[in-house]
A and B are shown apart, each in its own frame.
Chain A
Amino acid sequence: MTAPVFAVVGHVNRGKSSVVSTLSADPSVAVDDTPGTTRAARAYPMRVDDEVLYTLYDTPGFERARHVLAWLRERETGTGERAALVRRFVDEHAGTGEFAPECELLKPILDGAGILYVVDASIPATPAVEAETEILRWTGRPRMALLNPIGERDFSAQWRPILDQYFSLVRVFDAHEADFARRIGLLRSLGELSEDWRPAIDRAIEVLDGDRGFRLRESARVVADALVDLVTHCEEKRLDSDAASDPEKSGLEARYYAQLAERELRLRRDLRRLHLHDDLQVEQAVTDAASVEQLDEDLFDLTTWSQLGLSRSQLAAAGAAAGAVVGAGVDVSVGGSSLLLGTAVGGIAGAASALWGFGQLAQVRVLGLQLGGRLLRIGPMSNRNFPWVILDRALVFHAAVAHRAHARRTPVDLRAAEGVVAALPRDVRGKLESAFEVLRKSPGPDALHAATASLAGEIEAILREREPGRSPPTPR
């Protein structure tokens, strides 16, 4: 299996590095609006275990293409010699400063790389383009053009006829907007450049697909783990006296909420790492003591909460669904002789308890200790909407990092993001609610494991559901 090499080339500042960054899921590639950011050709080998399936080259942009073309044309003897002449150009100029970028970008091509020529579809074409494409044509390598729209405007109608003359494939690829599916779409197009490269590219797509599945599954698991930790979390403090003083109570409460916030941040960090956005800055609220101190009955009037989690009626419905599941068990055990009474009663009880627990916060309680003294404890969170808010934030966060192109480095602000759990299908909400219900009841290890596994399964299904379709890049 030949491992193809692709050189991503183009004029300076056209998003070449962005394309490479997004395609290789490498957020460390230098992307900057300063022309000439990339100074040397740099390899991005796509490795699976120790095997390289293909290699991308990020290259410096053309700066003096007109002059290179003039040099070539002056010495042209026949069409057959063109590639050799380009090689001669590189040999003669490598090391000299003037054509350093051109030599750097031509080298991988002369060594057999396929060409990915990047243009900015949001600006008009200029004569420099003609020089660049002509030089690339002289190398005789398979080539494809990418229309990367950097700005708002769309000049692609102007670009198409120009690019069609020189390139066997022309594709649109927005390097800053492309999600995983579009990455795969572009890879597939690369496979079309040459029959020899097809098997390696197909294999790469297969492996990347598998890896994506793994990362989604692992994301679901870390979300489920965090939900379990957050919902079941308790803080305790031994008391010397029989009653707890107010500072003791508020101190414990502060510690409790600090722990919740820390755990939520750890979840986000894990999600970021899972999707290789190690340093991406994301602004999103956490459960914090400060906001909770003002919380009373009006918990859900707070802006960050009101758009997340479930509404009162949805929560009641989910509680009813969860209760009905338990009630249905009763019906089965009495052989149906209860005329579905169990289901009905369970449902009503579930809904009622969901409504009742809607405004409840974690309570601070004083517990007796066997060996003298007393224990001050806060948690677990009795608020029924709490896991929903956490899940909502996690899903919103996941969507922000999982579908984000690695070329894009600007901070993400999710503080006003729309929630998603309210839009989940009823039966899914019911299943999640029954798992939350288990967590709230300080379950034993068995029940806890079962609830965690069921949560992870449901969340994975949600994540897969929300995975954008595999639409190929716009055909020309």
Chain B
Amino acid sequence: MFKQGPVDFDWRGLAPYWALVSKDPSLRAPSRIPRVGDLIDLEVALEEDRERPIEVLLARDARIGRELAAAGLDDRGLVLAWVDRVRSSPESPGQAIEALLRLSSLLLVGAGLLSGALAVAGWLWTGARVPVNVVQLWPALVGLQLVLAVFWVLVRLAPGWLTRSVGDGLSTWLPTAFGALAVRFAPPGARDAWNRFRALDRVYAGLRFWRATQLSQAFAVAFNVGALAALFFIPTVDDPAFGWRSRLMDAGELQRVTTVIATPWAAVWPDALPTRDEILATADSSLESAVDAEAGAAGHSEVWAAWWPFLVASFVVYGLLPRLVLRGVAGLRMRRLLGGIDFDHEGCVRLRERLRRPVVDGRAAGEEVTGAHPGSLEPPLAPLELPDRVQVVRWAGVPGTAEQLGERLARVFGVMVDGAETAGGLDLDADAAALAALRDAAAVLVVVEAWEAPSADYLDFLRKLRGGLGERAPVIVLTCDVGVDGQPTDVDPRHLALWRRHLAALADPWLRVEALPADARPRGAS
């Protein structure tokens, strides 16, 4: 997940120009470095997507993908741009958490300043009456800090048991504690988001440690700044006195220790080291006499001037500087980790596929206007009485010869076929001839192909036929069917129903639609 690499320059501002220059999609613009809030919002959005119907996701991401296509974003940039678009509002959980982190960082800085100043002030104030014992002050305010800083570094660096036992404990507990603290004041949405984010350790575990380091070191830096400020400010309103008293060290030893401590700044600020005389002068017993004897400001200032520069330099070198370095390292690590996230876990891979896929669509736009359904089924009509003699029209697609058909009809209906015409062929004159021959016939059987759709062609013919016959002559449309072997078969009832439904459009009370049964085989056929 995290790639080691140089810290990226922030290219964000250049992206639009990049898009102008590069039309080649393989040259993608480097993307901005994500923020923690982006990561949280990403995970929240992916989680919410699990509940969404797939077509909603496909449509949304196709749209976003199209909008983003022109920008030529790389994998990470694409995901970030997507997050920017889908996050619920400016107060998205991720941004709420970012704001909380900023707020807690501010609060910690404030608390650091205050506690630094108070700590120093607390020590120095007593100095107005009793001189401050440097041998106690230094370890409490500077030495302890140094130990903690070294410990923090060891936690991160030291291999083996230390890292595993103490380090793991600290690096999980501390950020969790920070997080929990921040989230305590957060709205429920942000709380959920934070918990979900914590569940994603797999992806973002490294971030939490460094974020916590950033926060804690901000506090520590502020603590030292506050302490220094107090150190500078208090002598202007009060007269603190420094001295020393120790059962473990004599003046010589103390001088050796202070010299060692002052090594880092010996070259730049040699005066920030009490001289042997000053050490002797500020030893506990002599100090009291000095204060007693002179009781004047001038002498007093000499007393604190012996130790004050040393303390200032100690706070700067052993308090402020290491904390600044730690804070800086944490910042760099955060940037590098965030910059190294390439969003290659399953959810992001899937997301990018939705964003980048070509959107294929073959469907028509808009609503289709379809043909009006023909009238309802023909109302059940009584069968027509056929006269003994009928005329027959054979539609051109009906298989078999006119004679075979005549025989079949005679057998099935017991009618004499008077004459057989053909219509429906390519020759329209034949239709006209048939209509002329049928003028004033007593009854007409129109034999049609049952499998054919009752198209307008048939309807035209039947209308014209009725026109020539007069109103009451029975017309029977007889559907017939044929098998693959060329032999007559029964008519599919669905076909018959279709014909009936469609010819109902003629609204002809003297017209019926019937089916010619298969067993009416022409004589001689098996």
Q: What is the interface of chain A, defined by CB distance below 8 A to chain B?
A: 11-13, 23-26, 28-30, 32-40, 42-50, 56, 58, 60-67, 69-70, 123-128, 130-131, 151, 153-155, 207-208, 210-211, 214, 217-218, 221-222, 225, 266, 269-270, 273-274, 278, 445-446, 449, 452-453, 456
| Segment among B6-14, B451-459, B518-526 that sits at the interface with chain A | B451-459
Q: Which B residues touch A208, using CB under 8 A?
A: 360
Asked if A11 meets B370 with Cβ closer than 8 Å, knowing A70-B428, A128-B397, A131-B426, the reply is: no
Contact of A34 among B66, B359, B371 (CB under 8 A): B371
Q: Which A residues touch B449, using CB under 8 A?
A: 124, 126
* Chain B residues touching A, range: 35 or more
| Contact call B345/A449, Cβ cutoff below 8 A | yes
| Contact call A66/B457, Cβ cutoff below 8 A | yes
B130, chain A: closest CB distance, angstroms: 51
| Contact call A155/B484, Cβ cutoff below 8 A | yes
| Contact call B370/A153, Cβ cutoff below 8 A | no
Other A-B pairs, 19, CB within 8 Å; known A33-B498, A127-B397: A26-B362, A29-B364, A38-B371, A40-B369, A45-B364, A47-B360, A48-B358, A48-B359, A127-B396, A128-B397, A128-B455, A151-B451, A221-B350, A270-B54, A445-B201, A446-B201, A446-B202, A452-B346, A453-B346
| Contact call A49/B369, Cβ cutoff below 8 A | no
A190, chain B: closest CB distance, angstroms: 13
A-B pairs with beta carbons under 8 Å apart, 28 shown: A11-B453, A12-B453, A13-B453, A28-B363, A28-B364, A29-B364, A33-B498, A38-B371, A39-B369, A45-B362, A45-B364, A46-B360, A46-B361, A48-B360, A49-B69, A49-B359, A50-B66, A58-B364, A60-B371, A63-B457, A64-B460, A66-B457, A67-B457, A70-B428, A127-B396, A154-B484, A221-B350, A449-B346
| Contact call B350/A35, Cβ cutoff below 8 A | no
| Contact call A34/B199, Cβ cutoff below 8 A | no
Contact of B426 among A43, A69, A445 (CB under 8 A): A69
Q: Which B residues touch A29, using CB under 8 A?
A: 364, 368
Residues in B436-491 with C-beta less than 8 Å from chain A: 449, 451-457, 460, 482-484
Contact of B358 among A36, A211, A453 (CB under 8 A): A211
Q: Which B residues touch A278, using CB under 8 A?
A: 55
The answer for the CA separation of A69 and B428 in the assembled complex, in Å, is 10
The answer for the CA separation of A42 and B365 in the assembled complex, in Å, is 9
User: Is residue B53 within 8 Å, beta carbon to beta carbon, of the partner chain?
Assistant: yes
Majority secondary structure, A binding face: mixed
In the complex, the chain B residue whose C-beta lies closest to that of A73 is B426
| Contact call B202/A269, Cβ cutoff below 8 A | no
User: Is residue B200 within 8 Å, beta carbon to beta carbon, of the partner chain?
Assistant: yes
Q: Which A residues touch B69, using CB under 8 A?
A: 49
The answer for the CA separation of A450 and B494 in the assembled complex, in Å, is 56
The answer for the CA separation of A126 and B425 in the assembled complex, in Å, is 9
The answer for the CA separation of A70 and B397 in the assembled complex, in Å, is 18
User: Is residue B122 within 8 Å, beta carbon to beta carbon, of the partner chain?
Assistant: no
Majority secondary structure, B binding face: loop
Q: Which A residues touch B457, using CB under 8 A?
A: 63-67, 128
In the complex, the chain A residue whose C-beta lies closest to that of B450 is A123
Complex interface bits, B363-406 against A, C-beta within 8 A gives 1, otherwise 0:
11000111101100000000000000000000011010000000
Asked if A35 meets B426 with Cβ closer than 8 Å, knowing A26-B362, A211-B358, A453-B346, the reply is: no
| Contact call A35/B368, Cβ cutoff below 8 A | no
Q: Which A residues touch B428, using CB under 8 A?
A: 66-67, 70
| Contact call A25/B370, Cβ cutoff below 8 A | no
Q: Which A residues touch B452, using CB under 8 A?
A: 123, 126, 128
Q: Which A residues touch B200, using CB under 8 A?
A: 445
User: Is residue B50 within 8 Å, beta carbon to beta carbon, of the partner chain?
Assistant: yes
User: Is residue B143 within 8 Å, beta carbon to beta carbon, of the partner chain?
Assistant: no
| Contact call B370/A30, Cβ cutoff below 8 A | yes
Q: Which A residues touch B484, using CB under 8 A?
A: 153-155
| Contact call B483/A153, Cβ cutoff below 8 A | yes
Asked if A35 meets B502 with Cβ closer than 8 Å, knowing A66-B457, A127-B426, A222-B54, the reply is: yes
User: Is residue B110 within 8 Å, beta carbon to beta carbon, of the partner chain?
Assistant: no
In the complex, the chain B residue whose C-beta lies closest to that of A266 is B53
Complex A-B, nearest 4 residue pairs according to Cβ-Cβ distance, in ascending order: A126-B397, A35-B453, A24-B362, A26-B363
Q: Which B residues touch A36, using CB under 8 A?
A: 371, 453, 455
The answer for the CA separation of A406 and B513 in the assembled complex, in Å, is 34
User: Is residue B353 within 8 Å, beta carbon to beta carbon, of the partner chain?
Assistant: yes
| Contact call B370/A37, Cβ cutoff below 8 A | yes
Contact of B455 among A12, A28, A48 (CB under 8 A): A12
Complex interface bits, B187-216 against A, C-beta within 8 A gives 1, otherwise 0:
000000000000111100000000000000
A432, chain B: closest CB distance, angstroms: 17
| Contact call A24/B364, Cβ cutoff below 8 A | yes
Q: Which A residues touch B328, using CB under 8 A?
A: none
Q: Which A residues touch B396, using CB under 8 A?
A: 126-127
